[in-house]
C-alpha cells in the first residue's frame, strides 16, 4: 500500500501552540514506520495542478492561497494561518489524494493513505477555514469524476468535526456522496441531519457529546453503511480524522483505536463489494499524538486487511 507524504507538510506551521502542529504528522509517520506493516511504500506526493484544484475551488480562492507571498506568518482567521511553506504543503496534500486516486484507478494499488497536512475538509469552494486551505478529499473526488469519469464516488468522513467544506463543494454534485459522522453542535456548526445535498447526496450523522464507539458502530450499522452500500461507490475516499478519540483535547467523543479499526473494516467490505477494493484515505484532524499514533496504525492495518 502506498503512503503519500511530502516534507513541505512537516514545514507548514500555523504558529506556536497551535494544535495542528508538525508534531502530528511526525507522530503519524513514525508510528507507521514503527508498526512494521507489510508492503508499505512511501511516495513523495506531487503538487496538485491548478486544473485539479479548479474542480473544487474558485479561482479567487486558489489565488489567495498560492499567489500571496507569506513573509513570516499570515493569519487567515482565528484558527487558520500560513507560513512560507503552507501553500506548498496544501498543494502536496491535495496532489497526494489525486495521485492516490490515479494509482488505485489504474490498478497499481488497491489502497492508499495520504499522510499529509494541513487537513482539508473545512475548506469550502471559496474559503480557507478551520486549519484547512485546500479540500484535499474533495479535490480528489472531483478528480476521480472529472478525469477518470467515475459516476459514483463516496467520501466518508469520520473526523469529529463536520466537513462543511466537502459538503459545500459536492452539494450539487450527485456523482459524489458525502457521508459524515461528527460531534453535534461543535465547530463548524453544520452537519445537521436535514442537510442532505441538493440531490440527496449528503448524509450527516451528528453524535451527542460523550458518544463512544458503541454508539458510533450502531449509527454506522443502522444508517450510514446501508446508505453507502446502496450507492454502490466505484471509489471510496476517507476523510480520516482521529479527533473523535477519547484522548483528543479538542472534542468530546469517546472512540478508541479499535473503533477506527472496526469502521475501516466495514468500509473495506463495501469497497471490496462495489469499488474493486479501491480506497484512498487522507489524514484530517486528530490532536492527541498518542491517539493519532494508535488510531492511524489501527486504520492502516484494517486497510491492509491484516487481522
Ligand atoms: Zn476535526
Expressed in angstroms and rounded, the spacing between residue 136 Cα and the centre of ligand 1 is 14
Q: Is 122 in the active site?
A: yes
* pLDDT at position 68: 87
User: What's the grid cell of residue 12?
Assistant: 507548514
CA–CA distances in Å: residue 267 to residues 46, 113, 193, 283: 27, 14, 21, 16
* pLDDT at position 90: 98
Q: Is 67 left (phi over 0), alpha (psi -120 to 50) or beta?
A: alpha
Q: Return d(Cα 124, Cα 208) in angstroms, integer.
A: 25
Expressed in angstroms and rounded, the spacing between residue 265 Cα and the centre of ligand 1 is 21
Expressed in angstroms and rounded, the spacing between residue 180 Cα and the centre of ligand 1 is 12
Find the angle CA(226)-CA(230)-CA(231) to the nearest 5 degrees.
120
Expressed in angstroms and rounded, the spacing between residue 266 Cα and the centre of ligand 1 is 21
* pLDDT at position 215: 98
The two beta strands, 202-207 and 74-75, are: unpaired
Catalytic residue among 6, 61, 85, 122: 122
The two beta strands, 81-82 and 74-75, are: antiparallel
Expressed in angstroms and rounded, the spacing between residue 94 Cα and the centre of ligand 1 is 17
Expressed in angstroms and rounded, the spacing between residue 284 Cα and the centre of ligand 1 is 7
User: What's the grid cell of residue 278?
Assistant: 479501491
Expressed in angstroms and rounded, the spacing between residue 106 Cα and the centre of ligand 1 is 31
Expressed in angstroms and rounded, the spacing between residue 161 Cα and the centre of ligand 1 is 4
The tens place of each residue's pLDDT in the chain, 307 residues long, gives 999 999 999 999 999 999 999 999 999 999 999 999 999 999 999 999 999 999 999 999 999 999 988 888 999 998 999 999 999 999 999 999 999 999 999 999 999 999 999 999 999 999 999 999 999 999 999 999 999 999 999 999 999 999 999 999 999 999 999 999 999 999 999 999 999 999 999 999 999 999 999 999 999 999 999 999 999 999 999 999 999 999 999 999 999 999 999 999 999 999 999 999 999 999 999 999 999 999 999 999 999 999 8
Expressed in angstroms and rounded, the spacing between residue 132 Cα and the centre of ligand 1 is 10
| CB of 184 closer than 8 Å to CB of 206 | yes
Amino acid at each position: 500500500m502506498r503512503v503519500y507524504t511530502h516534507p513541505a507538510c512537516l514545514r507548514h506551521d500555523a504558529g506556536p501552540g497551535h494544535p495542528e502542529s508538525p508534531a502530528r504528522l511526525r507522530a503519524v509517520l513514525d508510528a507507521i514506520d514503527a508498526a512494521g506493516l507489510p508492503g508499505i511504500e512511501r511516495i513523495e506526493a506531487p503538487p496538485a495542478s491548478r486544473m485539479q484544484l479548479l474542480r473544487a475551488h474558485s479561482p479567487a480562492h486558489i489565488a489567495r492561497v498560492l499567489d500571496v507571498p507569506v513573509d513570516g506568518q499570515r493569519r487567515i482567521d482565528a484558527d487558520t494561518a500560513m507560513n512560507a511553506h503552507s501553500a506548498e504543503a496544501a498543494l502536496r496534500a491535495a496532489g497526494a489524494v489525486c495521485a492516490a486516486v490515479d494509482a488505485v484507478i489504474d490498478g497499481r494499488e488497491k489502497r492508499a493513505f495520504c499522510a499529509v497536512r494541513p487537513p482539508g475538509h473545512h475548506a469550502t469552494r471559496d474559503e480557507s477555514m478551520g486549519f484547512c486551505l485546500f479540500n484535499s478529499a474533495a479535490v480528489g473526488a472531483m478528480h476521480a469524476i472529472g478525469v477518470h469519469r467515475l459516476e459514483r464516488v463516496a467520501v466518508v468522513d469520520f473526523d469529529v468535526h463536520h466537513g462543511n467544506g466537502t459538503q459545500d463543494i459536492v452539494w450539487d454534485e450527485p456523482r459524489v456522496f458525502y457521508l459524515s459522522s461528527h460531534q453535534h453542535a461543535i465547530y463548524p456548526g453544520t452537519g445537521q441531519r436535514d442537510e442532505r445535498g441538493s440531490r440527496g447526496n449528503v448524509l450527516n450523522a451528528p453524535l451527542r457529546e460523550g458518544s463512544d464507539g458503541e454508539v458510533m458502530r450502531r449509527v454506522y450499522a443502522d444508517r450510514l453503511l446501508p446508505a453507502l452500500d446502496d450507492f454502490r461507490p466505484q471509489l471510496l475516499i476517507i476523510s480520516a480524522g482521529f479527533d473523535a478519540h477519547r484522548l483528543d483535547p479538542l472534542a468530546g467523543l469517546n472512540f478508541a483505536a479499535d473503533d477506527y479499526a472496526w469502521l475501516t473494516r466495514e468500509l473495506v467490505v463495501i469497497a471490496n463489494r462495489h469499488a474493486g477494493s479501491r480506497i484512498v484515505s487522507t489524514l484530517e484532524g486528530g490532536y492527541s499524538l498518542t491517539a493519532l499514533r494508535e488510531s492511524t496504525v489501527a486504520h492502516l492495518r484494517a486497510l491492509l486487511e491484516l487481522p
